[in-house]
Amino acid sequence: MDDPGCHRPLLRQYPQLETAIARICLGTFPTPVQRLDRLGHDNLWIKRDDLSSSVYGGNKVRKLEFLLADARRKKKKQVITMGGIGTNHGLATAIFCNQLDMGCTLLLFHQPVTEHVKQNLRLFASYNAKMVYHRSLGKTVLAYYLLQRIAHPAAFFIFAGGSNSLGTVGFVNAAFELKDQIDQGQLPAPSVIFCPLGSGGTLAGLSLGVQLAGLTTRVMGVRVTASHLGPLPACTAATVAKLMERTYRFLKKRSPAIPPVALEPPVILHDYFGGGYGVSTRNGRLAARAFREKENITLEPTYTAKTAAAVMDYCRERDRDDGPVLYWHTYNGVDLSARAQQVDDRDLPKSLQRFIKIGNGL
């Protein structure tokens, strides 16, 4: 996995980062770009991060290449992270920890039960992840920040979505990867990029990365999770801006050659969240149907369908000559359904088995 041919344009641009930041190769990069010419907009493009790995694709691979490398460098044997009961980040972490012979513990909170959630629960078991169900988000956060650290002080902790400074570097690197593809003529420089906004790392990394790479592209995050956890901001312009600033300082400390930048505030679209995290929306379902039937691209309801709905609205409302639009597709494109079907549901913790047995919408 330590392939010297790993695609790391950010580290190539700033060679000091090569020794300062550990990385392992988990994916296949660069991911393809292609025009979407059957959705009614002549200048719509897609970045196929669903194809980021033949094992498990999606946007989490970019973050985990840096996070798990750091864990391995620190000789950690156990990784602890958190997410909803259908967390894609948790599944990606479980899969790659399994590959690297690391233990993986998932701290889980409730989200609406769909077939996708059920499949992910089975896959957690298939990849030997330990699952601890805390029901509410608040209790899960308490366990992550306090209880688990007391019980497992030697573990390596990964924030939800992999969105700390180190994980976010994966998407700064992704922006430099996109710049290479533009320079090679694979696509025009987009006027705008759309991506989901959950834990913040994808939006923060791309927003910082396009500035460092010299692109004038605007990056728009489509919020798919609650903006606040009680009174505390969790997914806001301020939280994303702080993550951008922390990531910039992290990189600048390790490579003084990185130029000074006046970080632009992140752009967030709040109108596509709908009824809650993991709750599908009508516009999301329509977008998923259009992408599936016209482009043979699969979306899921929690992140990508809501983001695609925002893309479709933007394209309808803007003039066709307004500039290229890039949809950054973050969903896993590897079909793991057959593996999930081989799991004995009794291998799941009893607290989670009931979600397999009952119908959707619990």
The sign of the torsion formed by the CA atoms of 223, 49, 54, 291 equals: positive
CA 166 to CA 164: how far, in whole Å? 6
In a domain, 29, yes or no: yes
Q: What is the pLDDT of residues 174-205, one digit of tens each?
A: 999 999 999 999 999 999 999 999 999 999 99
Angstrom distances, CA of residue 274 to CA of 169, 280, 306: 30, 7, 9
**pTM for the model:** 0.95
- Round to whole Å and give the CA distance between 349 and 276: 26
In a domain, 346, yes or no: no
Tell whether 152 and 288 lie within a shared domain: no
Residue 107's SS3 state is strand
pLDDT band at 3 (very low <50, low <70, confident <90, very high): low
Q: Are residues 180 and 259 in the same domain?
A: yes
Q: 244-256 burial by CB neighbour count: b if 16+ within 10 A, else e? A: beebbebbeebbe
**What pLDDT shows up at residue 106?**
98
246 inside domain? yes
Handedness of CA 244, 278, 195, 61 (dihedral sign): positive
Residue 334 lies in a domain: no
Give the residue from 128, 162, 196 where a domain finishes.
162
Do 188 and 240 fall within a single domain? yes
Does residue 275 form part of some domain? yes
Q: Residue 359: its pLDDT value, please?
A: 59
Please tell me the distance from the alpha carbon of residue 87 to that of residue 311, in angstroms, as a whole number. 23
pLDDT band at 360 (very low <50, low <70, confident <90, very high): very low
Query: Is 119 found in the same domain as 248?
Result: no
The pLDDT value recorded for residue 321 is 59
Taking only the tens place, the pLDDT of each residue in 85-144 is 999 999 999 999 999 999 999 999 999 999 999 999 999 999 999 999 999 999 999 999
Q: Quote the pLDDT of residue 287.
A: 98
For the chain, give the mean pLDDT.
95
pLDDT band, very low/low/confident/very high, at 243 (cuts 50, 70, 90): very high
The closest of 195, 223, 213, 180 to 325, measured between CA atoms, is: 195
Q: Is the pLDDT of residue 319 over 70?
A: no
**CA 124 to CA 358: how far, in whole Å?**
19
Query: Does residue 301 or residue 229 have the better pLDDT?
Result: 301
Tokens at residue 186, please?
A: 């694979």
Residue range 51-77: average pLDDT?
A: 97
Counting residues of the chain whose pLDDT is more than 90, the rounded percentage is 92
Within this chain, do residues 177 and 279 fall inside the same structural domain, yes or no? yes
**Is 241 within the bounds of a domain?**
yes
Tell me, yes or no, whether 150 and 215 share the same domain: no
The answer to whether residue 173 is domain-embedded is: yes
Tens of pLDDT along 159-177? 999 999 999 999 999 999 9
Beta strands in the chain (DSSP E): 33-35, 44-48, 78-84, 103-109, 130-135, 156-157, 192-197, 218-223, 228-229, 232-233, 267-269, 325-329
Nearest residue to 40 via CA among 302, 328, 317: 317
Kindly tell me if the per-residue pLDDT of 256 is higher than 60.
yes
Taking the C-alpha atoms of residue 188 and residue 4, their distance in angstroms, rounded to an integer, is 29
Q: What is the pLDDT of residue 53?
A: 97
Residue 21 CA, chain-centre distance (Å), reads 20
Residues 247 and 286 in one domain: yes
At 321-342, the pLDDT tens digits run 579 999 999 999 999 999 999 9
pLDDT at 2: 45
Round to whole Å and give the CA distance between 275 and 226.
10
Q: Is the model's pLDDT at 236 over the cut of 80? A: yes
Q: What is the predicted pLDDT for the residue at 1?
A: 44
What pLDDT score does 320 carry? 54
CATH number, domain of 292, equals 3.40.50.1100
Q: Is the domain of 222 the same as that of 150?
A: no
DSSP one-letter string for 154-171: TSEE--GGG-SHHHHHHH
Q: Check whether residue 181 and residue 325 sit in a common domain.
A: yes
CA–CA distance, 82 with 88 (Å, rounded to integer): 10
Count the domains in the chain.
Answer: 2
Domain ranges, residue 87:
62-162
Question: Are residue 148 and residue 117 in the same domain, yes or no?
Answer: yes
Is 335 inside any structural domain? no
